[in-house]
């Protein structure tokens, strides 16, 4: 995908912020043995105060409190995590609809964008670069695509990181069990101890993660106008790498995080299918009907 320098700059900034949040969440809440740090623990008595920090006050603590509230109703913190994950995803659904539609449109235009890119390959002078950008902008305008449409996803990142952090910091989680597994222990420590039921959780998480990433491409193939681009073919390798990374994190983090990822991945698959059929394909069918008329 060809992007102008300004867009690339924003993407780099967002990528850096994302990495900071991810590594902060992975390292600051638990010690080297995977035990929750007392200073980071959230319980029902944890004060909801700005003293905890702006991000925690606005997002993390309210989400954690919501999980604990649902836990008090259901009797199991795992249901608290699952139901709160579903609720959060329902809240951000309008944003994800816009993001998915925009991403799908841009992927449909990818072969045409690569044709424009190849047309100006090796022409690095300012005039040629400006012409290339103008052709790309005209392509977007013609197909009613916003160049910043895919950035809608980044608006949901703070909420998702807060959810991720809240799950990791709930104290009761580390002493709870579900399906015969201790939610606070890491799958790796239990697998090496001969408790192979944890392997099943990791396998389900890995499969759900792969399909959560791949579902967009699978739904794209339903469109008769879709033609795979060289860049989209290269993304398959990246999908495998991302899945392996999630497997690694799933092995070294509390088992509850695996259930959180499974829930999030399943929601992603269902949401993508729903948006594709209800919004994208319906719009395409209406366009085709109007053309025939």
Please tell me the predicted confidence (pLDDT) of residue 226: 58
Q: Is 135 helix (H, G, I), strand (E, B) or coil?
A: helix
Q: Which of 36-40, 115-119, 263-267 has the highest mean pLDDT?
A: 263-267
pLDDT tens for each residue of 170-202: 999 888 998 889 998 889 989 998 899 999 999
pLDDT, one tens digit per residue, over 17-55 is 555 454 444 446 777 766 788 888 899 999 988 888 888
For tokens 């033609």, name the residue.
227
Q: Which residues contact 101 (CB under 8 A, 6 or more apart)?
A: 149, 275, 279, 280
Per-residue pLDDT at 5 exceeds 50 = no
CA neighbours closer than 13 Å in the CB half-sphere of residue 23: 6
H helices, E strands: number in the chain: 13, 2
* Torsion on CA atoms 7, 164, 89, 93, rounded to nearest 10: -10
């Amino acid at each position: 995908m060809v992007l102008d320098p300004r867009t690339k700059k924003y993407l780099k900034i967002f990528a850096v912020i994302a990495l900071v949040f991810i590594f902060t969440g992975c390292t600051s809440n638990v010690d080297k043995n995977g035990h929750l740090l007392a200073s980071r623990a959230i319980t029902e008595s944890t004060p909801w105060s700005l003293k905890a920090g702006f991000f925690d006050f606005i997002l993390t603590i309210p989400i954690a409190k919501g999980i604990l509230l649902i836990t008090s109703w259901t009797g199991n913190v795992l249901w608290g995590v699952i139901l709160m994950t579903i609720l959060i995803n329902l809240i951000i659904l309008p944003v994800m609809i816009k993001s998915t539609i925009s991403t799908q449109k841009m992927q449909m235009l990818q072969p045409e964008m690569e044709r424009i890119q190849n047309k100006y390959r090796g022409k690095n002078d300012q005039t040629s670069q400006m012409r290339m950008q103008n052709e790309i902008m005209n392509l977007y305008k013609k197909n009613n695509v916003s160049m910043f449409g895919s950035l809608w996803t980044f608006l949901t990142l703070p909420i998702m990181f807060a959810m991720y952090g809240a799950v990791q910091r709930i104290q009761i989680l580390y002493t709870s069990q579900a399906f015969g597994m201790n939610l606070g222990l890491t799958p790796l420590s239990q697998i090496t101890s001969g408790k192979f039921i944890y392997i099943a959780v990791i396998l389900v998480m890995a499969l759900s993660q792969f399909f959560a990433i791949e579902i967009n491409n699978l739904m794209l193939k339903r469109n008769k106008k879709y033609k795979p681009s060289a860049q989209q073919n290269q993304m398959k390798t990246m999908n495998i790498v991302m899945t392996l990374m999630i497997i690694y994190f799933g092995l070294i983090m509390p088992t509850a995080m695996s259930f959180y990822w499974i829930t999030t991945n399943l929601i992603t698959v269902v949401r993508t299918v729903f948006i594709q059929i209800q919004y994208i394909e319906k719009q395409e069918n209406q366009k085709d009907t109007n053309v025939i008329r």
